[in-house]
Each structure stands twice: as C-alpha cells, then as structure tokens.
Chain A
Amino acid sequence: MTWETVIGLEVHVQLATKSKLFSATSTAFGSEPNTQASAIDLAMPGTLPVANEEPFRYAIMFGLAIGAEIGKESVFERKNYFYPDLPKGYQTTQLAKPIVGAGEVEITLEDGSTKSIRIHHAHLEEDAGKSMHEDFHGMSGIDLNRAGTPLIEIVSEPDLRSAEEAVAFAKKLHSLVTSLGICDGEMSQGSMRFDVNISVHKPGTPFGTRTETKNLNSFKFMEEAIEMEVDRQIEELESGGVIDQETRLYDGDKRTAKTMRKKADENDYRYFPCPDLLPVVFDDAYVDAIKAAMPELPEARAARFKEEYQLSDYDADILSADAATSAYFEQLVKTSNDAKQSANWIMGELSAKLNAEEKSIKDSPVTAEQLGGVISRTQDGTISSKIAKQVFEALWDGKGTSADEIIESQGLKQVSDTGALEKMADEVIANSAKQVENYRNADPDKRPKMLGYFVGQIMKASKGQANPQAINKILIEKLNALL
C-alpha cells in the first residue's frame, strides 16, 4: 500500500489596515527602520494597548466568507516567549475564544474536481518585528516597524492530501482575502506566510508523526518544501526509522531544509488571558451590517464574468481569482470593448511579462487603458496583431504614453492602401517565377497553403505592416489570373 500525505496549514495574513492592532502607528511597508515603532510597539513601561476596530471588521469579513461562526465575544491572550523582535516578551493573540470559528473553503484542483477543506478557526494577533543577523559586527539588528501589525492566523484541519491541494488551498485563501480587500496579497512583502504541518501514513491507519515547516512565503517554496519533506519522511520510514516531531526550516533559495528545533525544546508559551484587554463584543446587528456590505467574492465574480462577458469557465476562473487581476480585466474591457481579446492579452502577453520581471499586475508598467488602446487599434485595422505586440513592448518600456502615440512616432500603421499593396504583390510575383510555377501546377486544394510564401515575402517587404487580409485577397486575384 502506498503512503498517504496528510497536510494542515497555518496561514498568517497581514491585514491591510492603516494603523497597527494596538497602537495608532502606521503599518506602511518599506519605511526606514523603526520610524513606525511607537512607545506601545516598543513596549515602553507604562504603555497600554489601544485596540483598532478595523482588524476585527476584516476578520469578521473573512469569517463570513468561509461560512464560519463569528466569535461574538473574543478574548486576547498572552503567548509568552523571549525574542529580541518581540519587545513585550509576549505576543498578544487569541486562543480559547477566537474571532472566527470553524468554517469551510472549497478548492478546485487541476483536473477540475473540487474538495472542501475545513477551517478549524482563525484568530487575530499581532506580528513581530524583524531581526537581521548579517553585517552588525556579531550583533543582531532589530527593526520594529512590523511589530504590532494586525494578522489573522487561519488554521486548517489536516484535510489536505498533497502539495497540489495545499497550493490550491493557499491560492484560494489569497484569492479570498484580496477579493475581500482585507490583505494586499503581496507575497514578496510577507503579506501571507505559511506554516505547513506534514505527516505520512498508510490509509486506514492512524496519522503519522508530523513535522512543521515554518514561514514559507511563496506558493512555489511551499510546494517544494512539502514535496521534499514528504520524500524525506517516506525514505526515513521505509528504511526503518521514525519521524521526530520537530520544527523545520526550508531555504527556498538553496532548496534545502533543516531541523530548527526538536519537540523536547519546543517553547512552553504559558498562555493566559491578557489583563490589559477586555473582551471584545459584537452584537448581531454589527455582524449583519458587515454581511450586507460584503464585496463580491471570487465564485460570484467568475459567474458574473461568464454571464456578462461570455468568457469560458477557464478564462473566468483565472481572471476572477485575484482582485487586482479582475479589476484590470474589467477596466481593460471598458477601453477595448472586446472581452475575449482582453482575456487573451492578460493571460498571454501581460502575464508572461509580469512573471518574467516578477511584478504584480498592480504594478504593471502598461495600464489597462494603454493596453485597451492597443486592442482597439488592432480591431480597427490600424495595426496587425504582430505589430500590436511591438506596441505593447514599447509601452512596457515607457517609450510612449499611449498606443496611438507609439504607432504614430514609430510609423507602425498597417498598410491597407490597395495601390501600395498591389505594387508589392506584383514585385513579389515577378521575382518568384519558380514559386508561381509551382502554384500553377499545384492541386487547387493545396494552393491556399502555398499562398503563405507570397504573404511572407510581402510582410517582409513591408516590415510587417501590410494588412494580411488585404494581401491575401490581392494575391489570390493576381495568382489566379495567371492560371
């Protein structure tokens, strides 16, 4: 019997609030170190937490999106441990009474099948600061800008059975939280981080001992880390060994994993209710008001895209998954008036460029309005689809502010003028005696295919600017006249 993989995820999602969970300090990413670390964040003596309402609202939105019971009374606890990037000596978090209870998330796998993954609960907590260990002459440098940033930690049940399922689940959560607008979804900035609990067992027997791989910050690293850990556990068990319960670290750049600490050295966090914070209570009316104002969720958006823009299931799923992509798509359709072409451009050219330069669609150098111009000029015949790609590249490189400007300044207008095209066709035919002869002798069924050579020559002569439909028409007329 083969081994079965069992995976549970703990996902940390940074909430996109302006200020921190317990202090009115900015949460903006990328500021100078410690310029966003107030007395509360630094745990100066005498300071007390002042709770921000927005993270609760965001957490409730997430809870409603996964059909969970909302914790009408939610309580904060102290999780005690010492580490330099945690100035208070404890993390303020939730344990017994979290804001979001049990819920469910449906994932779609590559073969199109769906599976429901149970969420154990999701709780609110504060993020820690950052430690840097290099270049400080044997000391560690601490930046507390991130300390106190609100997070929800989403804890799944061990319902995932493969790396593919885990990644689909993580992507679904990403899609949900960005669609809700409660997280910016910027993985490279640590806005979503994954801890993965992994074990293997033979189906029908109890679950195996699990290990936890911490702090994975990309879907790719998560997939690699899971595959590597599953292989390691199976190898260990098949050679007669045992799996130790331990915490592991995966290094995505080196593609290696190692033990961070064994169970015996696990922290004993000594949780207790935080005396500085009273229970946070919400009534039904509060939750109902949030429910009434919920933004469109990915499934609903996919359904609307199919209906409103006649997209295929595949296109609709891809374009609706991420809030930023959806917004770009809808803006693009507005300017281009062509949903299918808009979908093709986003999933083709644009995605390829964004991936190659590791940019998110929000930071695309080519705006939806600019790309809309490229599509419009292709549709009205001003440029060919081949030249359209050239115009897109030029926009990407900032060589102009609009498709029209680039077409004008680089002289890319398609030649549809019949006189000019006829002249080019005559020249090509005159210079291609052999090909003309072949064409004449060919079976009439084969002739359309043989046109390709002549079209290619004219495209070459016109530097790609001849209108292909017009050339085809002219060539057929001229060649057939020679038969």
Chain B
Amino acid sequence: MDSSEIQKLANLAMIEIDDSQVSEVAARISDVLALVDQLQAADTDNVTPMAHPLDTVQRLRSDEVNEPNRREAFQAIAPESENGLYLVPKVIDAG
C-alpha cells in the first residue's frame, strides 16, 4: 500500500491520517492484506460461500408500526435543528 492509496482510503472513510502516520498505517493494512492472502490460499472449491458466520437465518417481524414520534428527544441532543429539520453544513451532491 503506498501513501496515495492510504490517503484515498482515508478519504473514503472520512478519517484524517497525518503524513507522519501514513507509513505505520500502510504497514498495518499490508499485514491485514497478507492475512487475507493467506486465507485465499485455502481450497474452497467444495465449500458453499457463507454470508454470515452464524449458521441460522433472519427472523422477520410483521408489518406493524409501533415506534412513537420521539422527535423532541432526538432533536434535543442534535447540534442544530430548525422547523423540525436537522441542520448540517451544506453539502450538495445528489447521491
């Protein structure tokens, strides 16, 4: 992992990595990737891919509304709100 790859990842994850930390982070991520390489060497030809480590299935609930409106409590701990909306620094990008 070179420093530009580390910075790209940091950017995607929205975390700040100082230039002085880059080499340490790169080394640690490289260790994890080495571990993944090792795992990938295992023969999995006859193994069904697993979506979750627990060997069970999702339980589903019935379609009922039972969450009350707790806007006041939630907005009391929000940094800023107005007319019922949460206010955040302006970001424009249509997803």
**Contact indicator B87/A139 (Cβ below 8 Å):** yes
A24 interface contact, C-beta 8 A: yes
Which residues of B have CB within 8 Å of A400? none
**Contact indicator B60/A24 (Cβ below 8 Å):** no
**Contact indicator B95/A24 (Cβ below 8 Å):** no
Could you tell me the distance in whole angstroms from the C-beta of B14 to the nearest C-beta in chain A? 5
**Contact indicator B91/A84 (Cβ below 8 Å):** yes
Interface size class of A (residues with CB under 8 A): 35 or more
**Number of B residues whose C-beta is below 8 Å from A?**
37
**Chain B interface SS verdict (over half):** loop
| Chain B contact residues, CB within 8 Å of chain A | 12, 14, 51-52, 54, 56-67, 69-71, 74-75, 80, 82-95
Could you tell me the distance in whole angstroms from the C-beta of A83 to the nearest C-beta in chain B? 6
Could you tell me the distance in whole angstroms from the C-beta of B8 to the nearest C-beta in chain A? 8
**Contact indicator B52/A25 (Cβ below 8 Å):** no
**Contact indicator A37/B93 (Cβ below 8 Å):** no
Q: List the 8 closest A-B pairs by CB distance, nearest first.
A: A141-B85, A54-B63, A53-B60, A33-B84, A38-B67, A278-B58, A75-B51, A25-B67
**Contact indicator B61/A24 (Cβ below 8 Å):** yes
**Contact indicator B57/A138 (Cβ below 8 Å):** no
A139 to B79, CA, bound (A): 12
| Chain A contact residues, CB within 8 Å of chain B | 17-19, 23-26, 32-40, 42, 44, 50-54, 56, 73, 75, 80-84, 97, 128, 131-133, 136, 138-144, 214-215, 249, 260-261, 268, 270, 273, 275, 277-281
Say whether, besides A18-B64, A38-B67, A52-B61, A140 and B83 are in contact (CB < 8 Å): no
**Contact indicator B65/A18 (Cβ below 8 Å):** yes
A26 to B91, CA, bound (A): 27
**Contact indicator A17/B71 (Cβ below 8 Å):** no
Which of A19, A32, A40, A84 lies in contact with B63, CB distance below 8 A?
A: A19
Which residues of A have CB within 8 Å of B52? 75, 273, 275, 277-279
**Contact indicator B57/A18 (Cβ below 8 Å):** no
**Contact indicator B60/A51 (Cβ below 8 Å):** yes
Which residues of A have CB within 8 Å of B66? 24
A83 to B87, CA, bound (A): 13
Could you tell me the distance in whole angstroms from the C-beta of A90 to the nearest C-beta in chain B? 11
Which residues of A have CB within 8 Å of B60? 51-53, 56, 280
Which of B12, B58, B65 lies in contact with A24, CB distance below 8 A?
A: B65
**Contact indicator A53/B57 (Cβ below 8 Å):** no
Which residues of A have CB within 8 Å of B88? 84, 139-140, 142
Which residues of B have CB within 8 Å of A131? 91-92
- Known A23-B67, A54-B62, A141-B87; further 6 A-B contacts with Cβ < 8 A: A17-B63, A24-B64, A50-B61, A73-B51, A139-B80, A140-B91
Interface core residue of A56, A73, A128, A139 (most chain B CB under 10 Å)? A139
Could you tell me the distance in whole angstroms from the C-beta of B93 to the nearest C-beta in chain A? 7
Which of B56, B86, B91 lies in contact with A34, CB distance below 8 A?
A: B86
Say whether, besides A24-B65, A54-B63, A37 and B12 are in contact (CB < 8 Å): no
